[in-house]
Each structure stands twice: as C-alpha cells, then as structure tokens.
A and B are shown apart, each in its own frame.
Chain A
C-alpha cells in the first residue's frame, strides 16, 4: 500500500558507524513475534494461567464525586467460591500511589473522585463468581458537587478535588485545583503585536482520546515462599511500577519480582499502574496466585486517557508573512488524579508555538484537577493538542494574508540553531521546511477513484464506505498540510537513564551474546533493535534477548519516543565495554604474537578480532575460550534543566523530532461523512535502525492521529462526569477502510548527540496527522471547525 522512499540529501551529517553487519543496525530484520501475533498464537498478559489460581475483580464507583458513607461486604463474603473481599481498610501498607504525585488511592477511602474509581476488591475461584460477588457489595455514596471544567474548578467557592496537597507543584500553583501551571515569557509579545499587520485569534477544543490498545489490562500475581510476590504484567516501565507497588504492599523492592508479560499495545496507557497492586494484595492476602483481566468496558476506566484541552491562540504576522508574536493559553483537563499531567503541561507549554521562529511569545499552560476521568500519557503527550491549534492558526493566518499555507510555514520554519521559546537552542538538524516541501511535491492521488468501468460506484472508495451513502453525490475533495515538533525522551531535569546487561561467551565453538534489559516491548520494535545493535557492536550473529524483568536495572519507560535512543544507547555502551574486555583478554593471551594487538582501534567483526585495516587477529571464540564477559551499565542522555516557573526558560528537552503531513480527504458535504484518501508523511528519523519498523511506527502514529481527527472521542456527560461510550461499539477507532494510503518519506539526518544519530520516531507523526486532516476538511467544506474530532453534525450544521 505504501510507497516508501529513503533519501539522504547531499551534505547530510551522518555518523560513521561500523561496516554493514548482517542483521545489524540499518537492516529490516523481522520481529520474531510477528507471525505469532498475526496468527493469534502469541501469549499476551491476559493468556496466563496458574494452577489453583483465583480471579480478582474490582468494584468501581458508579458516581463521579461522592463521600463514601459505608461499604457493606458481608453478603459478598458469604458466597461460595469467594476467598477475599477487601476495601481500603484491608490494605497492608501505603494507601496511595502515583507516578509523579502519590495522589491515587489503591482503593478509594473517604471519597471517590471520578466515575469508575476502584472501591472494593474480590478474589474468587471463578471470574464469574468474582463479578457476582463484587455486584453484591453495597456502597452508599453521598454525592458532592462536580468539578468538570476550568470555570467550575477555579470558581471562588470551588470544592477542592484534593485537599491538603503537598506535592512538588502545590506550592506554586495559583489554585489547588490546578495540578501545574507553566508559563513561558520570551521577548515582549505586547510590543511585537504592534508591529503585526495581521492578527488572527482562535479558540480550539481537543476531545478526550483513548489509547484503545487491544490487549486489556491484565496480569498474574503469585505469592512466594519468602513472603514476597512474583508479578507478571504488561506494562511500559517495570521499575516505575515496582517503586509504586512495593510501598503499597509493605515489602522491600527485592521481594517484588516483576516479569514483563505479553503486551497488547500501550501508547502511554500502561505508564500508570492498573491491576498490579490489587492483584498482589489479593495474592498476599489469600496465599494463592491471582489473575486479573479487565474486560473492554472496564479497560476504558482502567487507564488514563489523552488530556482533552481548550486552547486559546493569537498569532500576528507582518504583511510579508513573518510571525511577529504568539500568545496562547492551553487548558488541559487532568481529571481526578495527577498521573503525568504536570509533565504534559510542561510539554504543551514548551512546544506550544510549533516548529517556528517566534521571538516574542506569551504562553501559559495549566493542567486541572476535575472529576472527569484521569488523563495522562498518550502518544504525543501535550504536543498533540498544541499542534492541532497552532496549525489551524497558521492556516487562518495564511488565509488572512492571502498566502499559500505551506509557504507561510516554510517562511517561518525553524532550523538548526533556532532558539525555542524556552531559550533552548535547537542544536541538531531541524529540516522543517524540507519536510513540508517533500509532502507538497508528491503527486496527488487520482480523483474520483470510486468510478469503475461499468460496475457503478465502488463505495469502498467513497465517504460512508460499505454503508452505501453516496455514489459520488455531495463529495468534495480537500487538501491540507501540517507540521509538528515533539520532544524525545524525559525532560525538565529528570534523571533519565537505561541499563543494559550484556554477556558474551562461547557456546558450541561460536561466540554469542545475550542482552538483558528491563525495556518493555510494546510493539515499538526493541525486540529486533536490541539484537541488531549487539550484532553491530560485537561482531556476532547469535544474540539472545532475555525477557524483561526487575532482575536487571531500570530501562526507563517505553514512551516519549525514547527507548531506541536510551536502551539502544545503553546496549551500545555496554557492548563497547564488553568489546574492550574481550580485547583485553585477547591482548593478554595473544598480544605477544602480533604487534597489531597493541593497536587501540581493534574491532569485533564476523566473529573475529580485526584491525581497522581489516586484518583478522583471532576468532572471538579463541580469545574467550571458556571465559565469560558480562557487563551491566547505566547510560544517560545529556542532562536537561527544569523550566523556570515564571519565565519558562531552561534547556528542558533532550532532542526534538519533526514530521509533516499532507492530507487528501473527500467529504460528503451533505451527510458530513469523511474519507481520508491519502496521508503522506515526511519525517526526519535521524537513523533508521530498522527501516521496516520505522515505517510501521510512522504509519501507526499517522493513523492514530487520523482517528482523533474524525472519530475517536471518549464522551463524558458534563452533568454527571460519567463516561457515555466505554465500548468499541461507540468509541470508534479507524478500520482498514478508514485508513488511507500512507506514503512515508523519511530523512536520516543524524543527531550527533544520539547513538547512531537516532531520533525518536513514534510520536511526531501523531501530531501533524490530525491538523492536516482537519485542514483538508476545512478546505473541502469552507467551515471553521475548531473542535476535533469532527463529527458529521459539525459538517452539516445539525449540532
């Protein structure tokens, strides 16, 4: 379906790496789990089974904000097959957990703060028994007023979602219902506005998107003889979980042994704890293994969502199209618990003007506490909402100036050396104008593709698809462009590192390597990349990837587009140390036989120690014999700084990633139905370690961006703060008939600071995809469309 081209423009800085190694860096090696996943044979975390195991079931709140008057578990406890019914009173130790703020109750006590909050817990010998027992628990609530938006959160008499906050942001926020506020002031926007010939303003609304991963939250907790627990779960960051789980169980971390189970997608939705603590509590309480699996309905309550946002923008430009200033305010709804809201605020704020040169800015981003569902990490993390708004603004500005929207963007595009609103210099390639040029230069997909030779209309190629709503009537084509900027890795001074343990030894006469990390394989492709790096660095063919667990140091999270950079970097680094140790052994054993052993530039290639001139000195097998070299090392990216709380200044980000899209859509303007025909993407990936994976990530990110452009939204009733569509019947995600051709054109402009020059790739395509589709729909309909997703009602004036 996709036409992919890889282009390295002349004069591109590329890091010199090792020679081409079979199955090494740069090759599209295939995933070992690919066939199993496609054929349904792969074991996901929900497929685990243990003899004599029990099933855990959560009872969740039916109201969004209420005091808990009483919980009566007596009837549930008397049921046959029920082993435990627990409330907060039965918890063994700490009652709260959280990634950034410890504000989330393991089981609600005092009050519930959102619809679907865990209140009580059951273990039974059958999942159906557990469900029925949970239904027998009687909870009496006294409902409280709801905080559902900025106005109700900041009203003078607003009830506080969390009283007595003592987190690291509580001291500086202007109101306790604000999780975090990050302003950025640079230059003088008010003065610059006077130089503007044209000013455009806009208010934008971004709906609540769900990660909609296909594998629901699930895992297995097995009590151990030492009083600890062995926990098998699908998560994005084992060690972050561990740090939160152990205090709630009252156990030292070494007694909570975690192993990664098969992950069925993540997209940020597995950064927070789901069933980990609850299953462990039940296992320790009953002395039996406990399995928990959310069904689809529960999954919608079992993880955080993307922050819905209100965004207020003002852009100014001179008549010739140069941006004078940007003012913006971004209000992110964090819901009832903080999750990663504070970091999302930092991202939204620092990336709020997009990949453009603007010297005078006034930016404010806030994250709210409300009684809506908790929101946190999702692919794009704050930058998605901002990109939707600033790209709409750029189109508005282009229209006002009578300029081509791509030219306006190119005229203001940042490049290497540009200073961000935070004062940070973009110090590696930033080919923003070039990415736009590439998507624009593509030939247009043919028009009226639904027309067939004599067979009538092919409805699959029309808006409405198989629903047969149009045979061409009312269909108008539109084209739109967008470009975005995303940070890669953990920012704002976070001590971000990964750990790799590499072992090298001789088995059956062949040198082999073993890679052990705690990195979560959530579909991003670490499973091939880690082996590719070991092959390239150590000159071996056979590489074993051990399962991720907590028996090795932290790899950090598989998120923020950081894992190939960070765990890839850690593996490269540890492999380098292993190589030196192997050479040391070689020099000890053979140094006196050949003067080249004294050469500092020896390499491991093709199972041999070779000179940089290519002369083989010895096989690795002969060097090692029965010696084993094993190294475990932490590796860090360069340090970052916190943003100043008043000015927002600081070198807050590790690296930036850029992608541009051109969307071609066809809209049935009478019925308000949309068919995206093509979503072409150009992206700088630094270095494609596995080109096939790169294209897969870009196409996946693009599709997820399309989803929130035209269909994906968790709908929360503002009167009750309850979720109205927690199912795949009514929370729609794109099918293959909604997914267009996605041609991918990737650049490899190395970042000199990153291993092999890599640049995080998973998130950037999710940013620009949505505004490109919106721009195309606006072009087709002439409507303003300030809210995403676009519903048929918005296109037909029938709201």
Chain B
C-alpha cells in the first residue's frame, strides 16, 4: 500500500487523477477501521491531512461553506446557530475522540446509510462541491447518494466543500441506538423548517439503502401548513396532521432486518421521531420563548 501525502489541494487532485483507485483519508475514522479489519486493502491511500483548506469553514449570506475535513467537534462548537440540525447530528457521532477527527467529507465519501450527518444535510438542503483536475462541480445532496455505500463521485474526484443552507428556521435531529452514547444508528431522522420558502425538508438515515428524504410526507405537510395558514397564524399543529406526517415518514422508510434492529422497529421509530421533531420545531417556530434543541 502506498501512502500519498499531497501538500496542496492541486497536488491532491493530481494524485487522484493519476491513481483513481486511491482512497482518500482524512480523520480516518471509517477508512482505518476497514483497513484494520481487512475489509479493504487499497493500493493507495491519499492523505488529505496536510490540506488546510479542507479544515476551514466560512459563513456566507445564504450558505455555510464547510470544508470536508472540518471535525464534528468544530461544527458543534462553532456552527450551532447556522447549522443547528448538523450540530445536533455531530453531537451523536461516536465518542469525543472520533468527533475530534471525523468530518462530514468522510460521511459523504463512505456514503453509508448509517452516516450521522446525512439526514441533517438532506433536511437543511446542501450541495457537495467536488473537484478533479478536470474542474469542479456541485452535486445537490438529493442526487449524491446513489446506492448502498455508493455516491455520485467520479473516480478522479475529491470532496472539497459542502455548501449547506443556513438555517432560516428551527431544525432538529434524532438518532435511535440501543445505547445512550457512542452508538451506530439503528435509524435517524432530521427535520428542518424553512419559513422563508414555507417548506419543510426531512432526512432519514439507516432505514433505506441510502439516506433519503420523506418527500410525500414533506409535500403533505407543506400543503397542510399552507392550507391551514399555519405559517402565518402560528397555531398549534393538529394531532391528525402530525400523525399523518409521521405515518408518511414511516412509509417512506424502506428498512431491513439486521443485527441492530428489525425493519418493523425502524419504520416505527422513524414515525415517532418525525412526530416529536415536528412538535419541537413548530413550538420553536411559534416562539415559545425557549429552545428545544436539547441542552447537552
């Protein structure tokens, strides 16, 4: 195994072009586990740790430009206001040690349905900026996940920056695991209210071959909120709307039975999380005067 250590982004792109099978490594929290367990034995490892720009973020007017290697700890500590959903998701990632190493670029690169960041990115709305020696392109997050542990990257491309919409309303994120910390997702759910566009977006993790949005549930809720004038009158959402939304989120899931949980449980839990998060975010939107993000 050759270990490539480019000193700059340009060198990294050149190396990836020359060795398209090279596996990029930053925090190493996924890649090293796979290597240690001999699940993969890449010909080349492409170390991105010398590339400073990947560890930087910038808060713009509309978006946060998040470098692929910005560790989860930094997101939790510095981007809570702009990216509340992703900050909550970051807090559920593994242990403090792993959160100090791992970043969203790794989650996207691995594209595991269980990656903690995905539902938050789907709910917030994001574009993944990838680049190769041929140039750069922006992949909408909805088109990024193409299969189980597969994504839309070309072999010569590297993930550079994730452009995530700044929150214009409340966001929530929950993950179910059978332990109260340091657990891989049995399933996960993210919800973002977008008052500016009067829409909601969702994200479901670990309950389908890829991270997905519950689009029918979103459409139903968008219509129900519009019809009832909820965005303007700020009324409490009726239990029947919340239930229907939760049921549609459950129905959007396409989970499997595995060692971590049954399909039936996953579908059930997605619905519970959806209903609760709708309550939390809507209460916050109505200006109940207290944050319901969770005070951990």
- A-side residues, CB < 8 A to B, are 131, 295, 297, 452, 454-460, 463-471, 473-474, 670-673, 675, 710-711, 715, 724-725, 729-730, 732, 734-738, 791-793, 796, 798-799
Contact = CB atoms under 8 A, between A and B. Distances in A.
Given A466-B92, A468-B91, A799 B262 contact: yes
Interface residues of B, number: 41
B276 A724 contact: no
Interface in B218-275: 259-262, 264-265, 267-269, 272-273
B295 A469 contact: no
A498 B264 CA distance: 55
22 contacts: A131-B38, A456-B292, A456-B294, A458-B296, A460-B296, A464-B177, A466-B91, A671-B273, A672-B265, A673-B176, A673-B178, A711-B178, A711-B179, A729-B184, A732-B178, A738-B179, A738-B181, A791-B178, A793-B261, A793-B265, A798-B265, A799-B264
B182 A792 contact: no
B184 A463 contact: no
Contact of B291 (A456, A673, A792): A456
B21 to A, nearest CB: 20
Interface pairs A-B: 8 shortest CB-CB: A465-B180, A798-B265, A455-B295, A737-B181, A798-B264, A737-B180, A467-B175, A459-B294
B295 A452 contact: yes
Interface in B36-60: 36-38
A459 B295 contact: yes
Contacts of B179: 465, 711, 732, 734-735, 737-738
A25 B93 CA distance: 46
Contacts of B268: 796, 798
Contact of B180 (A456, A464, A474): A464
Contacts, number: 126
Interface string B79-90: 000000000100
Contacts of A452: 295
Nearest to B263: A798
B165 to A, nearest CB: 21
Interface string B165-187: 00000001111111111111010
Given A467-B174, A469-B174, A673-B176, 20 more contacts: A455-B291, A456-B292, A456-B293, A457-B295, A460-B180, A464-B180, A465-B181, A466-B296, A467-B183, A468-B91, A468-B92, A471-B294, A473-B276, A732-B179, A732-B183, A734-B179, A792-B186, A793-B261, A793-B265, A799-B265
Given A459-B296, A467-B174, A798 B290 contact: no
A172 B136 CA distance: 77
B144 interface: no
A715 B186 CA distance: 16
A671 B176 contact: yes
Contacts of B174: 464, 467-469
Contact of A793 (B36, B38, B262): B262
B280 interface: yes
Contact of B292 (A467, A471, A736, A738): A471
Contacts of B37: 297
B292 to A, nearest CB: 5
B290 A467 contact: no
Given A452-B295, A459-B296, A738-B181, A467 B269 contact: no
A792 B264 CA distance: 11
B265 A458 contact: no
Interface in B147-193: 172-184, 186
Contacts of A459: 294-296
A504 to B, nearest CB: 48
B163 to A, nearest CB: 25
B73 to A, nearest CB: 13
B276 A470 contact: yes
Contacts of B291: 455-456
A468 B38 CA distance: 34
B225 to A, nearest CB: 21
Contact of B92 (A454, A467, A732, A735): A467
A463 B175 CA distance: 12
A724 B261 CA distance: 13
A463 B276 CA distance: 14
A724 B172 CA distance: 33
Nearest to B262: A793
A455 B289 CA distance: 10
B36 to A, nearest CB: 7
A318 to B, nearest CB: 41
A471 B278 CA distance: 13
B176 A724 contact: no
Interface string B196-232: 0000000000000000000000000000000000000
Nearest to B186: A792
Contacts of A711: 178-179
